[in-house]
Structure 1
Amino acid sequence: MTLLEQLMQGDGVSRGVTALLLAMSIGSWVVILWKTWFLRGGTRDLLRSVAAFWQAQALDEAVDHVKAFDRNTLVLPSVLALQGMTSTPAAKGSLGASGARDARLTRVLRVALHGTMRRVSAGQILLATVGATAPFVGLLGTVWGIYHALTRITQSGAFTIDKVAGPVGEALIMTAAGLAVAIPAVLAYNWFGRVIGRIEAELEGFAHDLLAVFGERPAAALPPAGAMLV
């Protein structure tokens, strides 16, 4: 009996569990493939973009240099935010123009950094959810399948090894399916999380350097590199 035939013989709960596991698997693999492509350069392109920025002679030239290396647009938002603030001052009398230059620069860099990190972290919640719940969804299908298998055996009145092994073995497939869905999601979540952590640390350090160079406070008064701008 094929797997498809076994599913067709199941009830609504077993089919629902199978459909849910299939949806989880498809969703997690879509995220895995997309994030693998998106983070394909890791921190390499980010470091090259930052180095190209500091090698430029002027801010406009730095923007062009960053665009040439920043394939994933990780550094560019902060650079464009800095360029926009320096080239287009906030309207006088507005809340955006209030406060010292450091405060305004911190605000625009924080907004740019948070926007980049939201984009980089997209899909992590889905991977974490699939990795945490897929084994239990598979276990639910197993328990339900064993219950119905034992019910059918009891109704038939023939309680032998060959009568038990087949239905129970088919029900245990659900547990294996749940693990098969969860394991790739967990591995991908941990690997992506490590890459994202390095990217966040580099971007925060870059924002700190921008604030030190283009702000008004002395470097000693700046927050330590690696600390989120607030």
Structure 2
Amino acid sequence: MNPADAVQALPVHEITLFGLFWQAHFVVKVVMLGLLGASVWCWAIIVDKTLLFRRTRAEMDAFEESFWSGRSLEELYRSFNDKAPTGLGAVFVAAMREWKRSFEGSGRSIHSLGQRIDKVLDVTIQREVERLESRLLFLASIGSAGPYIGLFGTVWGIMTAFTSIAASKNTSLAVVAPGIAEALFATAIGLFAAIPAVLAYNKLQASVAKAQGRLEGFADEFSAILSRQIDERLALAA
């Protein structure tokens, strides 16, 4: 048989994205589907966190405006205590609850109240940061492992392609190219999942750090306000 006729007799591979996926080895298909699923989940996290941080910034701005408007701490506490506050509101309510608990009943445990309030503030800030950081680790994991998972699919696909080439004893470009293209498609999907995950993780982590800075700054200011009131009450008691 003429070699040209033999090449024409080989099955024709469909060089499209769907064709590359459909003709790939089973293991490579599993890798591709896993990476595509991870990419969809990454984008869901990115959208959810973007909206969350936008809402958190708006709530912080509104709380600071209300806090520094001259309203009494008791009035502000009543307005936020009935809700499930987050961000600065959660820090404020946690400190006020410890403050009010120390003066409830006949025994006044004002001794070391400042230290207890500082601990409550630290714990509340840590909880708020953990809430903001939730699921960001998945973005970091996909950003670091995605290319290697795709590379695994590529290596497996190339091994399969070369095995088929050896079996057919035909090294023409028409035989080699489709198998290599199918294998490299797995790496492309890995990069497609990893690159947005890395960029989003860095951006969102910076937003977490900025929110944490605002929480800690407010906690220091509020702790100083309560500390002055504690000193005044101790002076009156003396």
Q: TM-score range, shorter-chain basis?
A: 0.7 to 0.9
Matched, 1:86 2:111: no
What RMSD over aligned residues (CA atoms) do the two structures have, in Å? Answer: 2.8
Q: CA-to-partner distance for each residue in 1:4-51, whole Å, 9 max, x for gaps?
A: 454444444212212321221122111111101111246454234223
Paired residue for 1:38? Answer: 52
Q: How many residues align?
A: 212
Paired with 2:165 and 2:141, the residues of 1 have a C-alpha distance of: 36
Q: Which amino acid in structure 2 is aligned with residue 40 of structure 1?
A: R
Matched, 1:118 2:154: no
User: Could you tell me the TM-score, scaled by structure 1's length?
Assistant: 0.81
- Shift of the 8–166 alpha-carbon distance from structure 1 to 2, 3 Å rule, reads closer
Paired with 1:136 and 1:72, the residues of 2 have a C-alpha distance of: 42
Residue 56 of structure 1 contacts residue 62 of structure 1 at CA under 8 Å; is this kept in 2?
A: no
The one of 171, 185, 188 equivalent to 2:183 is 171
Paired with 1:18 and 1:30, the residues of 2 have a C-alpha distance of: 18
- Shift of the 71–161 alpha-carbon distance from structure 1 to 2, 3 Å rule, reads farther
Q: Secondary structure at the match of 1:172?
A: helix
1:197 Cα deviation from its structure 2 partner: 1.1
1:99 Cα deviation from its structure 2 partner: 5.8
Matched, 1:157 2:155: no
The one of 102, 105, 125 equivalent to 2:117 is 105
Q: Secondary structure at the match of 2:171?
A: coil
Identity of aligned residues (%): 30
Q: Which amino acid in structure 2 is aligned with residue 77 of structure 1?
A: A
- More helix per residue: 2
Residue 142 of structure 1 contacts residue 172 of structure 1 at CA under 8 Å; is this kept in 2?
A: yes
Matched, 1:74 2:56: no
Structure 2: unaligned runs, 5 residues or longer: 1-13, 232-238
Structure 1: unaligned runs, 5 residues or longer: 219-230
Q: Secondary structure at the match of 1:24?
A: helix
Paired with 1:26 and 1:37, the residues of 2 have a C-alpha distance of: 17
Q: Secondary structure at the match of 2:212?
A: helix
Q: Secondary structure at the match of 1:114?
A: helix
User: Could you tell me the TM-score, scaled by structure 2's length?
Assistant: 0.79
Matched, 1:148 2:152: no
1:204 Cα deviation from its structure 2 partner: 0.4
Structure 1 runs, 4 residues or longer, greater than 6 Å off: 64-67
Residue 35 of structure 2 contacts residue 189 of structure 2 at CA under 8 Å; is this kept in 1?
A: yes
Paired with 2:213 and 2:40, the residues of 1 have a C-alpha distance of: 31
Paired with 1:6 and 1:71, the residues of 2 have a C-alpha distance of: 51
The one of 8, 20, 29 equivalent to 1:15 is 29
- Shift of the 72–196 alpha-carbon distance from structure 1 to 2, 3 Å rule, reads farther
1:215 Cα deviation from its structure 2 partner: 2.1
**Pair member with larger Rg:** 2
Q: Secondary structure at the match of 2:102?
A: coil
Q: Which amino acid in structure 2 is aligned with residue 148 of structure 1?
A: T
- Shift of the 98–13 alpha-carbon distance from structure 1 to 2, 3 Å rule, reads farther
- Shift of the 41–157 alpha-carbon distance from structure 1 to 2, 3 Å rule, reads same
